[in-house]
Amino acid sequence: MTWLITGGAGYIGAHVTRAMADAGEDVVVLDDLTSGRPERLPDDIPLVRGTVLDRELLDRTFADHRVSGVVHLAARKQVGESVEQPLRYYRENVHGLTVLLEAVVAAGMRRFAFSSSAAVYGMPDVDLVTEDTPCLPMNPYGETKLTGEWLVRATGRTHGIATACLRYFNVAGAADPGLADTGVFNIIPMYFDALTRGEAPLIFGDDYPTPDGTCIRDYIHVEDLADAHLVAARRLASREGAGDLTVNIGTGRGVSVRELADLIAEVTGRTDPAPRVVGRRAGDPARVVASAELISKELGWTARHGVREMVESAWEGWCLRHPEARSR
């Protein structure tokens, strides 16, 4: 079968595309290239430039490439931006998904994997977040992901489509430097950016009820995340009938901001300037760590990479694009 990977030229999407292609799956990528980069894709992977809002393009792509299943990653995904532009997020993330699902139903497809997010949980007050933890998103981005899950599952039940919703936690690292994250929105590249400019990285609050007072998060290597999408897609392909699966993608291990800062200093060799503690950010929960039991049980998947590998590979990718960082 042939899989359409939407957003397949993005940071996460390119890793998913390569993982599936390397495993022998036939794939075609749809990406509007607003944040995706075509050079991330192998030359033999077809790239269709466009958006899931374009129903005519979707119909044509399905027919031209004989698509039989979809892995949907394309979405706006910045929390702060979603607060400032909620209409844009609902249009692209929810309406775009609606258009895509309409095209999937019309084409008679029976396999659909949706890349969701731990943002659906909001601020869970639990040691480990399970799939049964109440979903109480705190921002439009998380709301659009939760609404997307509802749409996917409802469509699957009504039209006999096997579906999977994959709730991933904090993604980091790179399979190789050329695939590294180019944005400066997550903590690891934010620290690299500050160190490159000779500024102190920021720790937002050190008075949380955690062992060292800083927030604790579950970090997942992007290669592991890509592998989880592959095994989920293969699970869908093996199903004879409809059914839905919703799983966390995480390690089950928490790392504090202070621990991560110390590791970044060790990997980069940059201890000066030291991180500077500032006030808490509104809406930051003290601890968000995934339970990874269900995905292990259902798909036989477990994370293979540790946080050091994430930081080391991310640093190599950062230095590829910012050579001055290594010599500073």
Domain stop point among 202, 232, 249 = 249
Q: How far is C-alpha 113 from the geometric centre of its chain's CA atoms?
A: 13
Q: Give the tens place of pLDDT for each residue, 23-41.
A: 999 999 999 999 999 999 9
Segments forming the whole domain that contains residue 295: 174-217+252-327
Q: Give the tens place of pLDDT for each residue, 155-188.
A: 999 999 999 999 999 999 999 999 999 889 899 9
List, in order, residues 6 or more apart from 87 with CB less than 8 Å away: none
Residue 53 pLDDT level (bands cut at 50, 70, 90): very high
157 and 129 part of one domain: yes
Three-state SS annotation for the chain: CEEEEECCCCHHHHHHHHHHHHCCCEEEEEECCCCCCHHHCCCCCCEEECCCCCHHHHHHHHHHHCEEEEEECCCCCCHHHHHHCHHHHHHHHHHHHHHHHHHHHHHCCCEEEEEEEHHHHCCCCCCCECCCCCCCCCCHHHHHHHHHHHHHHHHHHHHCCEEEEEEECEEECCCCHHHCCCCCCCHHHHHHHHHHCCCCCEEECCCCCCCCCCCEECEEEHHHHHHHHHHHHHHHHHCCCCEEEEEEECCCCCEEHHHHHHHHHHHHCCCCCCCEEECCCCCCCCEECECCHHHHHHHCCCCCCCHHHHHHHHHHHHHHHCCHHHHC
Q: Give the tens place of pLDDT for each residue, 273-287.
A: 999 999 998 778 899
Taking a C-beta distance cutoff of 8 angstroms, is the pair 245, 169 a contact? no
* Position 328 pLDDT exceeds 70: no
pLDDT of residue 156: 97
196 and 93 part of one domain: no
50 and 167 part of one domain: yes
Alpha-carbon dihedral sign for residues 201, 205, 206, 212: negative
List, by residue number, the catalytic residues. 141
Residue 241 pLDDT level (bands cut at 50, 70, 90): low
d(CA 248, CA 60): 33
164 and 310 part of one domain: no
77 and 151 part of one domain: yes
16 and 124 part of one domain: yes
Q: What CATH code is carried by the domain that includes residue 277?
A: 3.90.25.10
180 and 315 part of one domain: yes
* Total domain count, the chain: 2
99 and 228 part of one domain: yes
Record the pTM: 0.96
* Position 240 pLDDT exceeds 90: no
Q: Give the tens place of pLDDT for each residue, 299-322.
A: 999 999 999 999 999 999 999 999
Share the mean pLDDT of the chain. 95
Q: Give the tens place of pLDDT for each residue, 131-164.
A: 999 999 999 999 999 999 999 999 999 999 999 9
Structure tokens, 251:
């390690």
232 and 163 part of one domain: yes
Q: Give the tens place of pLDDT for each residue, 64-123.
A: 999 999 999 999 999 889 999 999 999 999 999 999 999 999 999 999 999 999 999 998
56 and 77 part of one domain: yes
Q: Tell me phi and psi for residue 116, to 5 degrees.
A: -100, -155
210 and 283 part of one domain: yes
153 and 284 part of one domain: no
Q: What CATH code is carried by the domain that includes residue 70?
A: 3.40.50.720
Domain stop point among 234, 249, 264 = 249
